[in-house]
A and B are shown apart, each in its own frame.
Chain A
Amino acid sequence: MSRKHLFANEESALHEGNDASLQAASVQAATLSAQGFELPTVFHRPAVRRFNNRRQTKLICLVSAAILVAIALIGVLLMPVAMESDLSQARQAPSFEHPFGTDNLGHDMLIRTVAGLSTSIGIGLFAALVSSIIALILGTVAALGGKKADACITWLTDLMLGIPHIVFLLLISYALGKGFWGVALGVAFTHWPSLCRVIRAEVLQVKQSSYVAVARSLGRSPLYIALHHVLPAVLPQYLVGLILMFPHAILHEAAITFLGFGLPPEQPAIGIILSESMSYLSVGMWWLAVFPGLALLLVVLLFDRAGQGLRRLLDPARAQE
């Protein structure tokens, strides 16, 4: 990671400085080959001119975010259409009219996939927000609230991490009567422990730092220190954790729905689409699984890209690790 970065930076620095000489060299090479000289294959060559890394990362973040927001919004708009079915159009292979094909009930799979992704993003957003707030509160309390609070919260975190995640999700979802809220709350209440640990460690670190000690000596109130010194230091970790929680939440939503403990089958959701596709794979309806599966993968990767990018931008010190 870090090596690559350094190289990339050097390369771009090279670009800025030696553009003119490089051009001259290539012109010379072209003339040589025109004169009949054989040129050896060049294995080392600076990559094509590109943005510097920071700008590139920003761009990736923005584009990912834009795509995800677009999917979410379009999906919400398409939701009523995605519920519509035309059984006379059932079980059609991908075509110009239905790029992702149609399922057993004649749903257009492109529309249904986008609507399903939108449901997933919605549940992911809700779950990630709730989970990250829980993590922020518990992590801060653990770090600042004294030994007993720390012991309690650390124990609870370890306990939550010790229970097999998917089983715990199933239990919560089933106990809440399945459906949208069963899934959303189930996913929301089970994703906080790892972020909680990170935040606790961060806050502890900030607490030990000299500038906090100085602030304390200067007579700043604990609240002032928390708001002006601790929060800004933890915020990047929090935001990155929030975004990186999305892929987990989305995949877990899809997983419990796939297992039949989540949303009812008439709802468009990726988990349902994939679990339904299972029964039709043996008759060769591959498009029911392939496109929605790839779309899910794409969304998860986009979130991951956006989260990693944001981490680099917000936390430059660690980006070079």
Chain B
Amino acid sequence: MDLSRRNFIKLGGAGAATVAFGGLLSSILSGCSTDSAPAEGASVTGNSNEVVISMPTTSEPASGFDPFFTWGCGEHVHEPLIQSTLITTDTDLNFVNDLATSYECSPDGLTWTFTLRNDAYFTDGEQLSASDVAFTLNGINNSPSAQADLSMVDEAVALDETTVEIRLNKPFNALLYTLAVVGIVPEHAYDSATYGAQPIGSGRYVLEQWDQGQQVIFKANPDYYGQAPTMERVIVVFMEEDASLAAANSQEVDVAYTAATFASSVPEHYELFVCDSVDSRGISFPCVPAGGTKADGENEYPLGNNVTSDLTLRRAMNYAVDRETMINNVLSGYGSPAYSVSDGTPWASEDMIVQTDAEYARGLLEQGGWIAGEDGVLVKDGTRAQFDLYYSSNDSVRQALATEFSNQMAQLGIEVTIHGGGWDDLYPREFADPLLWGWGSNSPTEMYNLIYSAGVGNYSTYENATVDSHIDAALAMTHVEDSYDQWKRAQWDGTEGVAPQGGASWVWLVNVDHLYFKRSGLSIAEQKPHPHGHGWSLVNNVDAWSW
């Protein structure tokens, strides 16, 4: 065959490029595995009393480890590790004493008196006393940037060294759940400018090192009053989702957080660790017709929606949504159906649970006067069953859930148009358009926020005096255990409530399992249901983990 020089050079060049590109590819692919595997039965650091954990970059507390801002008791609740709390909750969400040795409530539900242990010392050597507790609670209440809601507390007063009295402006026993995540700070050594980066506490761990944007290292507090932690050093590294997977692939971390998308690619020497959660995804439906505005803090936002204010429509959507399909399609099976914001907790109501029944939903719509129009979308009195659903655009799971919800509702004749946006775009719409939210914590305050008429999270503006009275009754119980029944009745008491057969002010979709890759050999202590926020909850009991 004849070969011109031009073609010869072309061919040579192409060949060289192919070889070079192939080499590059193979070196990238093979670069993921390392040869030297760390020893079994010990951390990747080589020590058997240490553990390295990766967390999302959003888990890093921006203002440091200061309960006066967000640490422990902010939007994402967890045990504060560095500080002690008055009480704490066990895996069944019962209260266990921490600093408190006993506590009781006055019959009117307005005064809680805590007696403290006398052997708790801050890491600077000072003893922790009742005045520190009072200082912390009053301080959070007076701090404008504190995320913990202690607005029901009038004041906290130290009666003597070991007794503190918390005076409330209304009965609110769910305060105990908040107290279980509020770390007590030292009155004598608190400076809001420096405390976040150099926290002093009396908890299980002390902060050894914090490299902002990278990692936090905790080491065991040698003077801790309780049982000494088995994990003497805990290293938390902050990284993006794919970096977390890469870190596990190269055996740089012992526990790597991950998401359902990655769950099938479990790295060698690791196993998938699935934590049940009350991290619920749900959609709020404005229950009042459009018109007027509603205040959220200092902002006034438009109120109401002429489509979702129709009760039949909201009920039908609650019955029609197929949560199992959603879990399989969106979460690869790593989730559980959500029927309320507090599934699986002692205050969760059975009546919130609905079986998917599209036929029943269709019947409801027909009875409610919704008739299919020419394009298949239902119409009632000239109103098309069409609404906009907003979701946070940087969360792929929420985008997928919104998409799947829209697809499912289309089969019912309801046209759901989805829009992604940043929270700056979303908050102004919270009272006027359905929004896809993530909520859930190990506390009934979550339910209070969402369904109480004056709750800060009552986006659906569902205001029902009966529901409110059940919640008020629940909060007034002097023993929290007695309040569970009233919480359930607030959801459905046989005639009224927010349940799907009642007000149906939300549709709850799924509880997202929190997934981790954990190195084989590491034994993680039993977990409480994880609240909203895929981060610190995992290490609530890191002191009891072992290799």
Residues of A264-295 whose CB lies within 8 A of B: 264-266, 276, 278-284
Query: With A and B bound together, what is the CA distance between A280 and B261 in angstroms?
Result: 8
Q: Contacts A90-B329, A284-B265 given; indicate if A279 touches B4 (C-beta within 8 A).
A: no
Neighbour of B4 across the interface among A43, A88, A276, CB < 8 A? A43
- CB-based contact A264/B2 at 8 Å: no
Query: With A and B bound together, what is the CA distance between A264 and B400 in angstroms?
Result: 14
Neighbour of B407 across the interface among A44, A87, A264, A266, CB < 8 A? A87
- CB-based contact B242/A281 at 8 Å: yes
- CB-based contact A85/B407 at 8 Å: yes
- CB-based contact B329/A279 at 8 Å: no
User: Any chain A CB within 8 A of the CB of B420?
Assistant: yes
- CB-based contact A44/B5 at 8 Å: yes
Nearest-Cβ distance from residue A247 to partner chain B, whole angstroms: 23
Report the stretch among B391-399, B496-504, B520-528 that lies at the interface. B391-399
Query: With A and B bound together, what is the CA distance between A41 and B6 in angstroms?
Result: 13
- CB-based contact A276/B407 at 8 Å: no
- CB-based contact A45/B394 at 8 Å: no
- Nearest-CB residue, chain A, relative to B397: A104
Chain B CB count within 10 A is highest, among A106, A260, A266, A281, for: A266
Residues of chain B with a CB closer than 8 A to A278's CB: 242
Count the B residues whose beta carbon is within 8 Å of the partner chain — how many? 30
Nearest-Cβ distance from residue A59 to partner chain B, whole angstroms: 22
User: Any chain A CB within 8 A of the CB of B134?
Assistant: no
Residues of chain B with a CB closer than 8 A to A104's CB: 261, 396, 400
Nearest-Cβ distance from residue A231 to partner chain B, whole angstroms: 43
Query: With A and B bound together, what is the CA distance between A56 and B403 in angstroms?
Result: 48
Residues of chain A with a CB closer than 8 A to B261's CB: 91, 104, 279-280, 283
Residues of chain A with a CB closer than 8 A to B197's CB: none
Residues of chain B with a CB closer than 8 A to A279's CB: 241-242, 261, 396
Chain A proximity mask over B1-20: 1 for CB below 8 Å, otherwise 0: 01111101000000000000
- CB-based contact B246/A282 at 8 Å: yes
- CB-based contact A276/B262 at 8 Å: no
Residues of chain A with a CB closer than 8 A to B328's CB: 88
- CB-based contact B329/A283 at 8 Å: no
What class of interface size applies to chain A in its complex with B? 20 to 34
Neighbour of A283 across the interface among B6, B265, B393, B394, CB < 8 A? B265
User: Any chain A CB within 8 A of the CB of B380?
Assistant: no
Query: With A and B bound together, what is the CA distance between A94 and B120 in angstroms?
Result: 62
- Nearest-CB residue, chain A, relative to B418: A266
User: Any chain A CB within 8 A of the CB of B412?
Assistant: no
User: Any chain B CB within 8 A of the CB of A105?
Assistant: yes
- CB-based contact B2/A42 at 8 Å: yes
Q: Contacts A265-B399, A279-B396, A282-B262 given; indicate if A87 touches B421 (C-beta within 8 A).
A: no
Residues of B281-331 whose CB lies within 8 A of A: 325, 328-330
Chain A proximity mask over B526-545: 1 for CB below 8 Å, otherwise 0: 00000000000000000000
User: Any chain B CB within 8 A of the CB of A10?
Assistant: no
Chain A CB count within 10 A is highest, among B8, B245, B246, B329, for: B329
User: Any chain B CB within 8 A of the CB of A86?
Assistant: yes
Query: With A and B bound together, what is the CA distance between A41 and B3 in angstroms?
Result: 7
Q: Contacts A42-B4, A43-B5, A279-B396 given; indicate if A266 touches B420 (C-beta within 8 A).
A: yes
- CB-based contact B245/A282 at 8 Å: yes
Query: With A and B bound together, what is the CA distance between A104 and B398 in angstroms?
Result: 12
- CB-based contact B400/A105 at 8 Å: yes
Residues of chain A with a CB closer than 8 A to B5's CB: 43-44
Residues of chain A with a CB closer than 8 A to B8's CB: 43
- CB-based contact B420/A105 at 8 Å: no
Chain A proximity mask over B451-489: 1 for CB below 8 Å, otherwise 0: 000000000000000000000000000000000000000
Nearest-Cβ distance from residue A299 to partner chain B, whole angstroms: 22
Query: With A and B bound together, what is the CA distance between A42 and B246 in angstroms?
Result: 54
Chain A proximity mask over B236-268: 1 for CB below 8 Å, otherwise 0: 000001100110000000000000011011000
- CB-based contact A87/B329 at 8 Å: yes
Query: With A and B bound together, what is the CA distance between A278 and B5 in angstroms?
Result: 42
Residues of chain B with a CB closer than 8 A to A45's CB: 2, 4
Chain B CB count within 10 A is highest, among A43, A47, A260, for: A43
Query: With A and B bound together, what is the CA distance between A90 and B330 in angstroms?
Result: 9
Residues of chain A with a CB closer than 8 A to B399's CB: 105, 265-266
- Nearest-CB residue, chain A, relative to B393: A265
- Nearest-CB residue, chain A, relative to B29: A284
Query: With A and B bound together, what is the CA distance between A90 and B397 in angstroms?
Result: 13
Query: With A and B bound together, what is the CA distance between A90 and B394 in angstroms?
Result: 19
Chain A proximity mask over B322-352: 1 for CB below 8 Å, otherwise 0: 0001001110000000000000000000000
User: Any chain A CB within 8 A of the CB of B219?
Assistant: no
Nearest-Cβ distance from residue B20 to partner chain A, whole angstroms: 18
Query: With A and B bound together, what is the CA distance between A279 and B260 in angstroms?
Result: 12
Residues of chain A with a CB closer than 8 A to B330's CB: 87
Q: What would 20 A/B residue contacts be, using CB atoms closer than 8 Å?
A: A42-B2, A45-B4, A85-B404, A85-B407, A87-B330, A87-B407, A90-B329, A104-B261, A105-B400, A106-B329, A260-B394, A264-B419, A266-B418, A266-B419, A281-B242, A282-B262, A283-B245, A283-B262, A283-B265, A284-B265
B contacts, CB < 8 Å to A: 2-6, 8, 241-242, 245-246, 261-262, 264-265, 325, 328-330, 393-394, 396, 399-400, 403-404, 407, 418-421
